[in-house]
Amino acid sequence: MIARTRRGADDVARNGPGYVPVHPNCPFCAVLHSNDGVLGDAREIHIEYCGDWSS
């Protein structure tokens, strides 16, 4: 599962730090949907970049 969902995590790690949100509470994220063919019976996985975990 980790190998098949890695593209979402790679995208967030690569593009998240330089992302400038259009809206204040809109962080950079990637969503893997059930119809992507990698999640089996799962609905979706949401991967979000957070530059400051204390907030």
pLDDT at 36: 75
pLDDT at 13: 83
pLDDT at 1: 62
**pTM of the model as a whole:** 0.58
pLDDT at 55: 56
Residue in 34, 35, 46 with CA at minimum distance from that of residue 8? 46
Contact 27, 21 (CB under 8 A): yes
Contact 28, 12 (CB under 8 A): yes
* Bridge partners for 44 per DSSP: 33
pLDDT at 9: 78
pLDDT tens figures, 1-55: 667 777 777 888 888 877 776 777 777 888 877 777 777 777 788 888 877 767 5
